[in-house]
């Protein structure tokens, strides 16, 4: 085949992927308006797996032309150059580069995974491929006044539904801006609004994302929209706090569903609003998690080039399923499935892979860390501490190959590094302990609300993020809540023990909530705090009720912002939404 023909074949595969991806996304606004939550969930899951399907289709076509994994160096140098030319004015060029990488890496040996053949470095590094203005609209209150300007903002969002009381919502919005961001209180002719054209959808909420530009500077904001009980729309909250905005776009939440023609422009705009977020995190947050992996890997390579440090075993209790290691100054951990599990883990590698994929596809409600999955990761042995190298060679031997001075890890998960909860509590103040244990219980409840049973609830499997939120990150025992059986702990008397009468047998999915304090909260101080805030979690009846609610499609809406931010009725904890 001619190099240009191959390049056009790959870009055609990408075009099909992106077109179908956006076609799924454009169905979401109508599903939101009609409250078809199952449809939104289905679309969200489909988008996650969609990329791999399109890559495989393109690979299959190319394999007919290249039946072996032997590469013709000169041909593929020319293919890459032809592809670069095609991307000169392509609005999704950075995503198309990642698609090219995926196709090539399916075809050839990892020794060719360098910038001569793939896009290790982007040809579009730095600036967005289209002006940032391509993704947002600007509004000028000087022209029509503040109220009409805000009304026009919501009209342009094309939410396709009537508001319950938009005038009242706008009054509350203005009051909230004045309270939360007093620097935005300027005369209407001394400011403008920049609003991303497309609303961001996730679960039962829609979000308007933008900024106020005034004489005082720039104030980013997010407006949260929900359904009123009568089915009409209402503004539920205004979020201007940088930390709260970061949590809404956080690594422990499901990806947003949002339409975009120029992802690089959208990410650049979001990065201006949330400069603490990396580009990788922002691409992940809007659903382009495959390109997020590419951006992350470039950050990782850049970190290695600029820091003289070695990989080491991660702090904390060693895992029974995963070997976990890290770079001291890099805020992520690397997890590899061990060859042999502890006897207390009666399952194998395929089960672990399936459970991590379950979490990837699921609503993580801000309580389960996202994972990046990589294959054939090459690490120089010189960058691995001797103790870790010994662990790699003894604990994950089947998952590595060694070539000269390199270790190639066949399969790896990467997660944001957070402080293990058990370690955090060792040096925490009484106030910090109380907050962490309360949030630990809240995390469990929120996972239960979306039909996730975390399985192993030991404190070492949870961590504390930089926002002081408790996040779950060990998924090898995750199952659906509705697959479990919750029972009261069998009562035994001394006579039973002396007579040798055996306890009732336990099925694999039997759970005794009363044992949480026996095995998880062995410290009396922690137990007392937990019992004060979450006594219901020690009762089988609570877990059984959560199961019934899920089976009856009664779901609790988990708000990604504090209750005090909500407009009106702040005490409505459950929110029947």
User: Residue 243 class from Cβ within 10 Å (0-12 exposed, 13-18 middle, 19+ buried)?
Assistant: exposed
Q: Is 315 helix (H, G, I), strand (E, B) or coil?
A: coil
Alpha-carbon distance values, 370 to 234, 424, 471, 531, 572 (Å): 30, 21, 10, 30, 29
Q: Round to whole Å and give the CA distance between 536 and 533.
A: 9
CA-CA distance, 146 to 437, in Å (whole number)? 45
Any binding-site annotation on 441?
Answer: no
Give the per-residue SS3 of 482-513.
Answer: HHCEECCCCCCCHHHHHHCCCCCCCCCCEECH
State how far the Cα of 183 lies from the Cα of 561, in Å rounded to an integer: 22
Q: Are the C-beta atoms of 344 and 324 separated by less than 8 Å?
A: no
Start-end of H helices in 125-251: 141-144, 146-156, 166-180, 242-248
**Radius of gyration (Cα) for the chain, nearest Å?**
26
> What region, left, alpha or beta, does residue 416 occupy, with left being phi > 0 and alpha being psi -120 to 50 degrees?
beta
Q: Please tell me the distance from the alpha carbon of residue 252 to that of residue 383, in angstroms, as a whole number.
A: 30
Q: Between vectors from CA 361 to CA 542 and to CA 292, what angle results, nearest 5°?
A: 130
- The CA distance from 226 to 479, in Å, is 29
Sign, CA dihedral 424-426-429-435, equals positive
Residue 314 in marked binding region: yes
Distance, CA of 454 to CA of 481 (rounded, Å): 8
Q: Hey, what's the torsion of the CAs at 463, 464, 470, 475, to 10 degrees?
A: -20
Q: Tell which residue, 44, 476, 11, 55, has the closest CA to residue 290.
A: 55
Q: Is 319 annotated as a binding residue?
A: yes
H/E run at residue 303: helix 289-306
Q: Is 495 an annotated catalytic residue?
A: no
Kindly name the residue from 370, 439, 474, 476 that is annotated as catalytic: 370
Q: Does 371 belong to an annotated binding site?
A: no
To the question of whether residue 317 is assigned a binding role by annotation, the answer is yes
Partnered with residue 413 across adjacent β-strands are 335, 373
Residue 189 contacts residue 182 (beta carbons within 8 Å) = no
Beta-carbon neighbour count of residue 41 at 10 Å?
A: 17
- Residue given tokens 């025992």 in the structure block: 477
Please list the residues that pair with 234 across neighbouring strands.
226
Q: Which residue has the tokens 């620097």?
A: 183
500 appears as a binding residue in the annotation? no
Beta bridge partners of 384: 311
H-state helical runs in 87-204: 93-107, 141-144, 146-156, 166-180
Burial class (CB in 10 A: 0-12, 13-18, 19+), 187: exposed
Catalytic amino acids? 370
Residues flagged as binding site: 314-320, 335
**Which residue positions form the known binding site for ATP?**
314-320, 335
């Amino acid at each position: 085949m001619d190099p240009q023909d191959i390049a056009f074949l790959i870009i055609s595969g990408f075009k099909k992927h992106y077109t179908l991806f956006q076609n799924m996304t454009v169905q979401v606004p109508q599903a939101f308006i009609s409250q078809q939550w199952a449809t939104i969930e289905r679309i969200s899951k489909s988008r996650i797996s969609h990329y791999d399907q399109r890559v495989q289709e393109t690979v299959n076509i190319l394999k007919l032309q290249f039946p072996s994994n032997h590469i013709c160096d000169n041909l593929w140098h020319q293919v890459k150059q032809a592809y670069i030319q095609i991307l000169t004015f392509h609005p999704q060029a950075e995503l198309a580069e990642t698609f090219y990488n995926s196709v090539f890496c399916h075809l050839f040996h990892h020794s060719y995974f360098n910038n001569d053949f793939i896009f290790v470095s982007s040809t579009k590094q730095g600036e967005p491929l289209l002006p940032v203005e391509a993704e947002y609209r600007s509004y000028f209150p000087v022209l029509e006044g503040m109220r009409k300007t805000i009304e026009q903002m919501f009209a342009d969002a094309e939410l396709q539904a009537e508001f319950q009381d938009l005038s009242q919502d706008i009054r509350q919005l203005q009051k909230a801006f004045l309270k939360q961001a007093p620097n935005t209180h300027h005369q209407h002719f001394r400011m403008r609004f920049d609003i991303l054209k497309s609303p961001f959808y996730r679960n039962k909420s829609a979000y308007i994302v933008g900024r106020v530009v005034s004489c005082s500077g720039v104030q980013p904001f997010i407006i949260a929209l929900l359904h009123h009980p009568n089915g009409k729309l209402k503004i539920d909250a205004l979020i201007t706090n940088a930390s709260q905005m970061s949590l809404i776009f956080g690594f422990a939440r499901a990806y947003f569903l949002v339409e975009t023609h120029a992802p690089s422009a959208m990410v650049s705009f979001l990065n201006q609003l949330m400069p603490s977020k990396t580009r990788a995190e922002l691409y992940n947050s809007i659903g382009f998690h495959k390109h997020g992996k590419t951006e992350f890997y470039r950050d990782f390579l850049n970190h290695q080039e600029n820091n003289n440090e070695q990989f080491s075993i991660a702090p904390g209790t060693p895992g029974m399923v995963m070997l976990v290691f890290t770079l001291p100054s890099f805020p992520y951990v690397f997890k590899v499935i061990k060859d042999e599990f502890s006897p207390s883990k009666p399952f194998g590698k395929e089960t672990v892979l399936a459970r991590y994929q379950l979490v990837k596809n699921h609503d993580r409600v801000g309580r389960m860390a996202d994972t990046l999955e990589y294959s054939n990761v090459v690490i120089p042995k010189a960058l691995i501490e001797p103790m870790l190298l010994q662990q790699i060679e003894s604990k994950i031997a089947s998952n590595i190959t060694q070539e000269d001075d390199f270790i190639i890890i066949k399969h790896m998960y990467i997660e944001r590094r957070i402080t293990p909860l058990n370690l955090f509590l060792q040096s925490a103040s009484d106030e910090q302990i109380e907050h962490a244990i309360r949030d630990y219980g809240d995390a469990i409840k929120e996972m239960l609300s979306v039909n996730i049973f975390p399985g192993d609830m030991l404190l070492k499997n949870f961590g504390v993020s930089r926002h002081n939120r408790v996040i779950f990150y060990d998924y090898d025992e995750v199952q659906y809540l509705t697959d479990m059986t919750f029972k009261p702990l069998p009562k035994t008397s001394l006579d039973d023990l002396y007579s040798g009468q055996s306890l009732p047998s336990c099925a694999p999915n039997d759970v005794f909530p009363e044992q949480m304090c026996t095995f998880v909260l062995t410290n009396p101080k922690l137990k007392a705090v937990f019992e004060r805030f979450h006594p219901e979690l020690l009762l089988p009846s609570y877990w059984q009720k959560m199961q019934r609610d899920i089976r009856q499609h009664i779901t609790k809406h988990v708000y990604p912002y504090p209750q005090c931010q909500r407009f009106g009725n702040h005490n409505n904890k459950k929110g029947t939404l």
